[in-house]
Amino acid sequence: MNRPNPTILFGFFVAVIVAICGVSLLKGGLYIGKHEGDTLHMLQIIFRMAAGEWPHLDFMTPIGALAAAPVVFFVKLGFGVGIAFILAQALVAVVLLGPLWWAAWSRLPGYLPYLFGLFVLVQTTALVHGEAQSSLSLSMHYNRWAWAISFVAITLAILPAQGTPRPISDGVIMGLAMTALLMLKVTYFAAFAPPVALGLVLRGSARALVVALLTGAAMAAVITLSAGGGFWLAYLGDLLAVAGSEIRSAPSAELNVVIAAPAYIGASLVLILGVVWLRQADQGVGGLILLLLVPGFFYVTYQNFANDPQWLLLLGVLLLAMVPAGPVRNGFGWDMRTALVLTATAALALAAPSFLNLAYSPFRHFAVDVKTYSPLLPKSGVHTDLQTTTVRATRVMAMLPLDHPGAPFAPAVSPAEPDEPVTFRGETLTECEISLGLPAYFDTIVSDLDRAGLAQGKRLLAADLFSSHWLFGPLEPLQGGAPWYYGGLPGFDSADYLLVPLCPIIPQVRRMILEAIEAADVPLDEIRRTPLYILYEKS
């Protein structure tokens, strides 16, 4: 196949960015349909960074600074956080444009550069994290960005150059890409840096590897000078805390499920068959590098919420790129060209529902009826441009057990092993779990605190998954706190209050925090009690 015209290819990429980001901006805001909790988590990080704080040093999170930095840039310019998010995606796509163009043009023939570029840019600029559910979400956007960057780096490592090798260009791009993954979500760096490095060695590109290492070292030095020498230890500490967390060490299915359960076994078999066919098609180096990538593909999928195997898109392109130029048959007499094309087709078919959901999401966003949406942060001024469906913003719903002794369904069901009741300071707390309406939930509690004169300039730790209350009123964020709870009592030293919700978002987290506080024997005085919460002041 012929190589594409480089100018036309670059123009195509620009057109994709303009089309997707342009239609996303036309609505004048960002309208999501799910994952309000994850969104509040990310908003805490964005606003804290916009105030000059550093992740890991000033607050606890396993997510790297680059996940929020592009949004922070536009928030500091005065944009509402909804528009800032869309502009940030455009910025990431523009920054990725050069490396993407180089990887596509220097490695892929025929129509494949266009297909590859479309996959990468859709990942970068979509308004949903993946899957086949149509509701829009900004949650886990950093996973999409990390996949896009990984696609570029892996393509440069696994495929030989179509023309004259340019090891310096390859090395600089891969060094920058690996640094970006490290500062975005370290899971991707850990999964893909070793096979990318080995791929360069196997391809005889030792010079590119040296340049990549030097580039990465230079970027690490810049980060250290900016954040201080303690940044990396703080980052490592957050990662270790999350790895040992009972709450979030594995966000969805277990690893064996992600590999071999019915929903995933087809993708796993296609991946393994791709390795086998490449080896039998005299593409031994490519097959070996792909084999080295297999654990990373599985691990990243396992670590990402919903376990969406986005690597199927890349697999399809790589297999098509490595189809032999002439006929090759294996020991059974099978045509390896046909085997690779069919396997690539299967990979792309399996990826189609998620990819089409990603690609269509900006156009669904343009079609939403804004009359059915309400601000996620109703008192935030310019940031009311981030909205969710009114029913999800204002209707608070909870789940209550109805099978305990004395409850309506107790006689009708077989006795189950009851959960140990949650007690705190000698009081048994209600069993309840919030399932919908987080914006109204937080806003109601904070408004009550404010009316009671207990909010202005104060900090609180909520015995729950999020301490997002400061986003809804005059409270201050916890110093060293965690936008998403992973364990321990992060930020409690700076807290004025402990807020115990009578109906938490995650009851298990309420239990863990209260047990940790009782174990620490922190002196507390109850100062307010409502049907929603009990408020304690540190004495």
Secondary structure (H, E, C), 214-270:
HHHHHHHHHHHHHHCCCHHHHHHHHHHHHHCCCCCCCCCCCHHHHHHCHHHHHHHHH
| pTM, 2 dp | 0.96
456 plus 328 within the same structural domain: no
What pLDDT score was predicted for residue 440? 97
Q: For the segment 391-428, what is each residue's pLDDT rounded down to a tens digit?
A: 999 999 999 888 776 777 776 655 556 667 899 999 99
Question: Which residues, including other chains, have CB under 8 Å from residue 256's CB and lie 6 or more apart?
Answer: none
Is residue 373 included in any domain, yes or no?
A: no
- The 8-class DSSP code of residue 329 comes to B
* pLDDT at residue 40 tops 70: yes
Is residue 357 included in any domain, yes or no?
A: yes
Averaged pLDDT of the chain? 94
420 plus 474 within the same structural domain: yes
149 plus 196 within the same structural domain: yes
Is residue 345 included in any domain, yes or no?
A: yes
Q: How many domains does the chain have?
A: 2
280 plus 405 within the same structural domain: no
Alpha-carbon gap, residue 135 to 202, rounded angstroms: 43
* Structural domain boundaries enclosing 405: 401-538
Cα 363 from chain centroid? Answer: 22
What pLDDT score was predicted for residue 412? 61
Alpha-carbon gap, residue 163 to 66, rounded angstroms: 33
- List the structure tokens of 264: 């995933």
Alpha-carbon gap, residue 502 to 142, rounded angstroms: 33
102 plus 204 within the same structural domain: yes
40 plus 159 within the same structural domain: yes
Q: For the segment 236-288, what is each residue's pLDDT rounded down to a tens digit?
A: 999 999 988 887 656 778 889 999 999 999 999 999 999 999 999 999 999 99
Is residue 139 included in any domain, yes or no?
A: yes
Alpha-carbon gap, residue 95 to 151, rounded angstroms: 15
For range 510-538, the mean pLDDT: 96
What pLDDT score was predicted for residue 3? 85
Q: For the segment 315-335, what is each residue's pLDDT rounded down to a tens digit?
A: 999 999 999 988 999 989 999
% of the chain exceeding 70 in pLDDT: 97
- Please identify, among 367, 386, 411, the residue that sits at the C-terminal boundary of a domain: 367
